[in-house]
Amino acid sequence: MSENNMSRRNIHRGRPKKRKKGCLIFFIIIIVLLIGAGAVGAYFYNNVVNTVDVIQQSRPEEQVNLRDEDEPDPVVSRIQNKEPFSMLILGVEPSANDNLEEGQSDFIVVATVSPEEESVVMTNIPSNTLTEIAGQKSEGMIREAYQTGGLSNTVNTVQDLLEIPIDYTLTVNLNGLADIIDAIGEVSVTATETFDQNGYSFVAGETYNMDGEMALAYIGDIDEAIESANSQDKARQVVSAIVPQISQINSLTSIPKLLSSLNGNVLTNLSFKDIQTIALDYRQIITNVETVQLEGNSEMIDDVTYEVLDSNTLTNIQEQLKALLEQ
């Protein structure tokens, strides 16, 4: 960063706010994985295959390949061969025309999976992290990578930041979470805080049967109102309430709704076989999840708050992820 920019930093320091929706994205992954595992039954096999075809997104041609150049396609067999792999998970607020390939990435998570270590590390990257944006040779918020250059630019920026290859991508429409919840019915959640949000009132200790809209209001409290240390627990509550219901879905009406809810709300370059393999062979691994947070200081530059990462923390995380992917 230039000395000029350095001089414009105001005192506004502290631990960066954690991204609150990261575990919801993991919930979306579980949905897709359970579908791929055949949780909906053989009768709907063709529906599942068609859904995966619809949510398929090609690997960006502009993505820089950091894998061995001798590999003809670095993503085609890593999962089936039980090799370590990484996945960039983006939560996107789509553009005005609801195009998921355009918009703003409100949260960014990198999942690194090691079959040998039987572990998953979820690295949360604050969306206002100050970093060099790939292809621009200038610094900005990391979320700007998606706004200015879409998926490929975001992948390249994250690869540069973490110094690891990104093998797979999963993009989720934040506005579509209610569709997915409504597709599986109401979820029962006991409020841990008393608060009002988006026309709903929640009382600590009271249990609520939430549809998609009400669940979003409960989750929205995490983003805007409460900054307590247990704020992410509320999102985990929703996850815990929803995931068991997915595996129990067996009605002829609910299954098509669940599959339909993914259309327009999820994009991935995982193949159907990849998804099946993860769901069937990685079932135990994906329950052993460690979450790490890129940490630094919140700093005001030109009246905009950025997260300026601590270099030691960044280096430690880079080394941890590299070691995991080199097993």
119-128 pLDDT tens trace: 889 898 988 8
Cα 99–chain centre separation: 18
Look at phi and psi of residue 303 and say left if phi exceeds 0, alpha if psi is from -120 to 50, else beta: left
Percent of the chain with pLDDT over 70: 72
pLDDT of residue 84: 93
Using CA atoms, how far residue 217 sits from 31, 92, 105, in Å, is: 21, 18, 20
Cα 133–chain centre separation: 20
All domains of the chain, ordered by start, with CATH? 17-178+253-295 (3.30.420.590), 181-247 (3.40.630)
Q: Is 292 in contact with 317 (CB distance < 8 Å)?
A: yes
pLDDT of residue 112: 93
Look at phi and psi of residue 90 and say left if phi exceeds 0, alpha if psi is from -120 to 50, else beta: beta
pLDDT of residue 126: 87
pLDDT of residue 37: 47
pLDDT of residue 43: 59
Nearest-angstrom CA–CA distance, 128 and 305:
8
pLDDT of residue 194: 92
129-125-172 Cα angle (round to 5): 115
pLDDT of residue 231: 47
**pTM confidence score:** 0.78
pLDDT-flagged residues of the chain (< 70):
1-44, 68-76, 220-236, 239-240, 242-254, 286-287, 327
Using CA atoms, how far residue 278 sits from 32, 121, 327, in Å, is: 10, 15, 18
Range 288-307 burial, b when 16+ CB lie within 10 A, else e: eeeebbbbbbbbebeeeebb
pLDDT of residue 131: 95
pLDDT of residue 160: 95
Q: Is 252 in contact with 12 (CB distance < 8 Å)?
A: no
